[in-house]
C-alpha cells in the first residue's frame, strides 16, 4: 500500500488546482504563470522535488524523469499531451571513452531469452537472460541482477521500476534465470550465476555495456547469490574470471549471510536449496568467505523491516556482518528502511526521491567516480527516513498489507484466520516456526490482528 505522507496532504489541493489552471499549451509559453511561479520558488524556470514535495504529483509531471519539471512538462500533462524531452544535460560529463548517463526516460531496448549456457537434460529457460540496453549508450556501466524466490521460484522478469531506474542511470541491465530447487541444490544456483556473469562479461559490449564496470545486485535469495558471487572467488575462477571483475555488490534484504548459525528445518526453503550438511551450509554462506586480500568488491547491504524480529535485531545483525567485511579491508555500507518490508524494498525501488533508491545511487556513483566511502570502509548503519511519515504510520500499513497477503495465501478454508494445520500444509516448516510467536492468544489460529499487533484490521 502506498501511503500519502501526512506532510504533503495539504499540498494536494494546490497541485490539483495547478493542473486546472495551467491552461494547456498556452501556459507552456511562459514559466511565469501564477501557479507554476508559486512552486518555482527560486524563479529558475523549473520545479524541483524540494519545491513540490509530493512524490506522486512530482512523478506525474516529471515526464522525462530528470529530477526537474519544466513549464512544458506541466502544460503537456494538463493538456493530456506527450511532453517533448528537455535537451539540457542533468548528469555529469562522461570520462574519456565512457558513455555519459543518457537523458532521463531514455528508452530501453529489451533483448529477451538469450542462452548463456547449455546443459543436457535442463530446460533451456533456466539458462536464459534478458538484456535491457538504453538506446545509444557506449561503454555504459552494467547492472547484473539476480532474482529472489527462495531458490525455489521466481524469474528474471524485473518488473517496470528496475529497468526504468537503470535507464535513468544510463546502465545496461542484465537479468538472469537459474536452476531452482528442489530439482537442484547448492552449488548449482551459484554455478549458473557465475556462468551468466561470464556471458555478460564476454558479450555486454555488443549491447553498449562496459565489462570493466559490472555491478552485481540481487534481492532475497538472489541477494544471497549476489553476495556469494562477490565473496567466493572460486565460482568466477571456474569461468576464467575473478572477484576483481565485479565493480560493486548491491544486496537487497537477505537473511542468508551465515547459514551455519541457525536451525534448518525439514521441508524449509533452506533444506530444499542447501540440505543440512554443515559443510555445504558453510560453503553457501557469503560472510564466511570474507578474508583480506581476496579482491572482494565494495558492498552495500539494504535491510527492510523483518516479519519476525525487532528492527533493532536486524540492524545489529547487519552491522555485525558488515564489520567482518571491513575487518578484511572491504568497503561495506549498511542502510535500513523501517518503512519497507521484504517485498516492498524492491517493488518500491526506483523513483528518484525514494530513500533506498537514493542510497543505492550514491553508492554506484561514488564507485564510478572513484570516491571512497566516508568513513573509507563504511560507517554506522544509516536509518533511512520517509519524509512526512512516522515509523508507526508506515509500520502499520506495511504490517497490515503483509498480513493480508500472507493470510490469503495460507487460509485454505477462507475463514479469515490460519490454523496450525494450514500453516504447515501451505506455508511449510519455515512459516510454521513463527506460528507460536504470532498466535498471541494461543487459540490455535493466527489472524491479521495478531500478526500486526492491532485490533482493527480485517483480512
Confidence grade of residue 335 (pLDDT, cut at 50, 70, 90): very high
Instruction: Look at 28-32, 51-55, 418-422, 446-450 and tell me which has the smallest mean pLDDT.
Output: 28-32
Is residue 145 a contact partner of residue 218, using CB atoms and an 8 Å limit? yes
Q: Give how far the C-alpha of residue 416 lies from the chain's centroid of Cα atoms, to the nearest Å.
A: 31
Provide the pLDDT for residue 53. Answer: 60
Q: Give how far the C-alpha of residue 190 lies from the chain's centroid of Cα atoms, to the nearest Å.
A: 20
Mode of pairing for the β-strands spanning 46-48 and 68-70: antiparallel
Is residue 105 a contact partner of residue 82, using CB atoms and an 8 Å limit? no
Provide the pLDDT for residue 200. Answer: 98
Instruction: Using CB atoms within 10 Å of the CB of residue 172, give its burial: 0 to 12 exposed, 13 to 18 middle, 19+ buried.
Output: buried
DSSP per position, 326-338: HHTT--EEEEEEE
Is residue 286 a contact partner of residue 232, using CB atoms and an 8 Å limit? yes
Provide the pLDDT for residue 153. Answer: 93
Question: What digits encode the pLDDT tens for the residues 24-71?
Answer: 322 233 333 455 666 777 777 777 766 666 555 666 677 776 677 877
Highest mean pLDDT among 93-97, 361-365, 390-394, 424-428: 361-365
Pick from 269, 297, 273, 293: nearest CA to 283: 273
Pick from 346, 358, 398: nearest CA to 382: 358
Domains and CATH numbers, the chain: 6-79 (1.10.238), 108-387 (3.40.50.1820), 392-452 (1.10.238.10)
d(CA 323, CA 140): 32
Question: What digits encode the pLDDT tens for the residues 262-286?
Answer: 778 888 889 999 999 999 999 999 9
Helix, strand or coil, per DSSP, at residue 103: coil
Q: What is the dihedral of CA 21, 24, 30, 35, to 10 degrees?
A: 20
Terminal CA-CA length for the chain:
14
Q: What is the dihedral of CA 444, 449, 455, 459, to 10 degrees?
A: -110
DSSP per position, 146-193: E--STTTS--S--TTHHHHHHHHHT-EEEEE----TTTS-TTHHHHHH
Is residue 279 a contact partner of residue 259, using CB atoms and an 8 Å limit? no
| Residue 246 DSSP class | -
d(CA 99, CA 141): 9
Pick from 337, 338, 455, 442: nearest CA to 403: 455
State percent of the chain over pLDDT 70: 73
Mean pLDDT for the chain overall: 80
pTM tops 0.85, yes or no: no
Q: Is the pLDDT of residue 114 over 60?
A: yes
d(CA 105, CA 67): 11
Helix, strand or coil, per DSSP, at residue 46: strand
Instruction: Using CB atoms within 10 Å of the CB of residue 306, give its burial: 0 to 12 exposed, 13 to 18 middle, 19+ buried.
Output: middle
Amino acid at each position: 500500500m502506498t501511503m500519502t505522507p501526512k506532510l504533503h496532504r495539504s499540498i494536494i489541493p494546490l497541485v490539483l488546482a495547478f493542473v486546472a489552471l495551467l491552461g494547456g499549451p498556452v501556459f507552456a509559453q511562459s514559466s511565469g504563470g501564477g501557479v507554476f511561479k508559486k512552486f518555482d520558488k527560486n524563479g529558475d524556470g523549473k520545479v524541483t522535488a524540494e519545491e513540490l514535495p509530493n512524490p506522486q504529483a512530482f512523478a506525474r509531471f516529471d515526464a522525462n524523469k530528470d529530477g526537474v519539471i519544466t513549464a512544458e512538462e506541466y502544460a503537456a500533462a494538463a493538456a493530456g499531451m506527450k511532453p517533448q524531452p528537455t535537451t539540457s544535460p542533468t548528469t555529469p560529463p562522461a570520462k574519456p571513452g565512457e558513455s555519459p548517463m543518457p537523458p532521463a526516460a531514455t528508452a530501453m531496448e529489451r533483448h529477451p531469452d538469450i542462452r548463456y549456457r547449455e546443459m543436457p537434460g535442463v530446460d533451456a529457460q533456466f539458462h536464459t537472460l534478458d538484456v535491457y540496453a538504453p538506446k545509444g549508450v557506449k561503454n555504459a556501466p552494467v547492472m547484473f541482477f539476480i532474482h529472489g524466490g527462495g531458490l525455489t521460484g521466481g524469474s528474471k522478469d524485473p518488473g517496470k521500476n528496475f529497468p526504468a531506474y537503470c535507464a535513468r542511470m544510463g546502465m545496461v541491465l542484465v537479468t538472469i534465470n537459474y536452476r531452482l530447487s528442489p530439482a537442484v541444490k547448492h552449488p548449482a544456483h551459484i554455478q549458473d550465476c557465475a556462468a551468466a556473469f561470464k556471458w555478460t562479461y564476454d558479450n555486454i559490449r555488443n549491447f553498449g555495456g562496459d565489462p570493466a564496470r559490472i555491478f552485481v545486485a540481487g534481492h532475497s535469495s538472489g541477494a544471497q547469490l549476489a553476495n556469494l558471487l562477490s565473496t567466493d572467488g572460486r565460482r568466477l575462477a571456474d569461468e576464467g574470471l575473478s572477484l576483481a571483475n565485479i565493480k560493486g555488490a548491491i544486496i537487497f534484504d537477505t537473511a542468508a549471510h551465515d547459514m551455519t548459525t541457525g536451525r534448518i528445518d525439514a521441508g524449509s526453503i533452506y533444506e530444499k536449496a542447501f540440505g543440512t550438511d554443515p559443510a555445504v551450509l558453510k560453503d553457501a554462506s557469503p560472510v564466511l568467505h570474507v578474508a583480506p586480500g581476496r579482491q572482494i568488491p565494495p558492498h552495500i547491504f539494504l535491510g527492510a523491516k523483518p516479519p519476525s524480529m525487532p528492527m533493532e535485531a536486524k540492524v545489529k545483525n547487519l552491522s555485525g556482518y558488515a564489520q567482518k567485511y571491513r575487518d578484511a579491508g572491504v568497503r561495506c555500507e549498511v542502510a535500513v528502511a523501517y518503512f519497507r518490508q521484504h517485498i516492498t524494498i524492491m517493488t518500491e525501488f526506483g523513483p528518484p526521491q525514494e530513500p533506498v533508491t537514493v542510497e543505492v545511487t550514491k553508492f554506484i556513483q561514488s564507485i564510478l567516480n572513484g570516491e571512497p566511502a566516508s568513513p573509507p570502509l563504511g560507517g554506522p548503519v544509516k536509518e533511512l527516513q520517509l519524509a512526512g511519515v512516522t515509523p508507526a504510520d508506515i509500520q502499520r500499513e506495511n504490517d497490515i498489507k503483509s498480513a493480508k497477503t500472507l493470510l490469503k495465501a495460507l487460509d485454505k478454508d477462507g475463514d479469515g484466520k490460519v490454523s496450525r494445520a494450514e500453516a504447515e500444509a501451505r506455508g511449510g516448516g519455515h512459516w510454521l516456526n513463527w506460528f507460536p510467536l504470532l498466535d498471541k492468544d494461543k487459540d490455535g489460529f493466527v489472524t491479521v490482528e495478531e500478526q500486526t499487533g492491532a485490533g482493527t484490521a480485517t483480512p
